[in-house]
Amino acid sequence: MTPDIGSRAAPGEHRVHAAGGRGPAAPPRTPPETSAAARGGAPADPAAPPERPAAGAGTARVEARPGEAKGGRGPRRPVRVLEVLGQMNRAGVEIRAVNLLRRLDPSEFRLEFAVTSGARGSLDGEIRDLGSEVYYCRADWLFPWRFLRLVRQTRPDVVHSAVATFSGVVLALARLGGVRRRVAYFVSSADRHGASLRGRVQRAVGRLLLDRCATDILAVSEAAMRGLWREDWRLDHRCRVIYNGVELEPSGVAVAARRRAEEIAADDPDIVTLVHVARPDPLKNRARAVEVLAALRARSIQARLRLVGRQEPAETAALTALAEQLGVGAHVEFTGEVREIPRLLAGSSLLLVTSLHEGMPTVVLEALAVGTPVLSADLPGVGEIGRLLPGVTTLPLSASDAVWADTADMLTAVPPTIDQRREAMRLVRRSPFTMDRWQRDITAVWS
């Protein structure tokens, strides 16, 4: 069993063992006071714990629900949310979760994380600095015991699971542990099980458990909802699409920095800078970005490629060998993880998205918010963005590198002006893709 290494406790809390480790103890479990129809949720769950009488009292005392004062007096306790993710590294859904943690009022919500990889991530320290916790629950044959133990000891009001159809297992255990609000959250249009017999069986079992145990089913796009749930998802009252949101303040800072760079001629206008932002994953198809760069330089265009995101030695070695083979080794830069993504995008000529599958890539929204054009594979989630915001061009992955290079050349021929970048940010601010709107919609589900 992988130990939890949580080492901090909030004031007034004591530490308890959870999921093979230590974490903050939860307030007492609170029974419901209203019917399912009154709160707009699913029927009462038979797995929920019974109401407990007050010690030394002749009659039972009903405790307040999360967010309500007891008897109309005293402080309200926060809604405790346990979000389940793969690993807390710098990627779209994980960064968005940490941004939300930073924004939440701790008197209203307490957000903690469980990771099914059982591995430490680059965001763990930041999460603990913000007063939260990460629990390590590896998805192996001991996972049911670990996760059920974690649920029973932390006693969350909400389990919010974003691990594709494996969320069916997570939410079934949450139901068994007495959690009343059980949210499935789809962030991609496909899972990793593939088309094998084993994959189809795993997917079918996961969906069956979700159908029986989820109180809410959310997705970042219609494509993600169709891909991981059902084509007729609109007929399911639990289903709702909540678009990803981006922070706009960093975008404004990035555009201002870009203006200063242009005023002092800090950038070479003759260099075309392609940027590809992704984690090390075959689904992100980083190799295709190297091939597009080679096709672009074959047209005597002075171009370079920045591969942004966590690196793994094997993948980096393979990409380096490919770049050398194509004669562009000197023009490919591995930047690793970057904190100021909007600033990097504002200083780039074009964002490349070559993924095989995506739900709704946040980096596309970040690029559009600083006025940097996007050339993407024709992913349905990216198409949903393109229907609401300008600046997105899509091509099928089956198109040749020459077609991709020609399109990249066209999109970067005339760089956007500062005024055009500011207008792009204003359009994003008026769109459904803001962090404020995403936070409002997500917390409304949790409440």
Q: Where do the domains of the chain lie?
A: 78-243+435-446, 249-429
Question: Hunting for tokens 């769109």 — which residue is that?
Answer: 431
On the 0-12 / 13-18 / 19+ scale of CB atoms within 10 A, 201 is exposed
Q: Quick one: pLDDT band at residue 22, thresholds 50, 70, 90?
A: very low
On the 0-12 / 13-18 / 19+ scale of CB atoms within 10 A, 334 is middle
Q: Residues, the chain, total?
A: 447
Tokens of 157: 């009001």
How far CA 34 is from CA of 54, 127, 155, 212, 378, in Å, comes to: 20, 34, 20, 22, 46
- H or E stretch covering 412: helix 401-412
Residue 73 pLDDT > 60: no
Radius of gyration, alpha carbons of the chain: 24
More confident residue, 192 or 105: 105
- H or E stretch covering 241: strand 239-241
Are the folds of 78-243+435-446 and 249-429 the same?
Answer: yes
Residue 234 and residue 231: Cα distance in Å, rounded?
A: 8
Tokens of 4: 């939890």
Per-residue pLDDT tens digits for 220-277: 999 999 999 999 999 999 999 999 999 999 999 999 888 776 655 555 567 899 999 9
How far CA 418 is from CA of 97, 254, 393, 422, in Å, comes to: 31, 11, 21, 6
Tokens of 155: 């006693």
Tokens of 31: 């029974």
Residue 167 and residue 86: Cα distance in Å, rounded?
A: 11
CA angle 376, 362, 330 (to 5 degrees): 55
Mean pLDDT of 338-365: 93
CATH class of the domain comprising 249-429: alpha beta
Q: What is the mean pLDDT of the chain?
A: 84
Which letter does DSSP use for residue 293 in this model?
A: H
CATH class of the domain comprising 78-243+435-446: alpha beta
Residue 193 and residue 202: Cα distance in Å, rounded?
A: 7
CB atoms within 10 A of CB 383: 15
Q: Quick one: pLDDT band at residue 74, thresholds 50, 70, 90?
A: low
Per-residue pLDDT tens digits for 359-384: 899 999 999 999 999 999 999 999 99
Residue 352 and residue 369: Cα distance in Å, rounded?
A: 15
Residue 116 and residue 413: Cα distance in Å, rounded?
A: 45
Strands 21-24 and 15-18: antiparallel
Torsion angle in degrees (nearest 10) through CA of 214, 126, 278, 423: 90
Given a contact cutoff of 8 angstroms between Cβ atoms, the answer to whether 4 and 21 are in contact is yes
Report the range of poorest mean pLDDT among 194-203, 228-237, 310-319, 339-348.
Answer: 194-203
Residue 352 pLDDT > 60: yes
Report the range of poorest mean pLDDT among 14-23, 64-73, 249-258.
Answer: 14-23
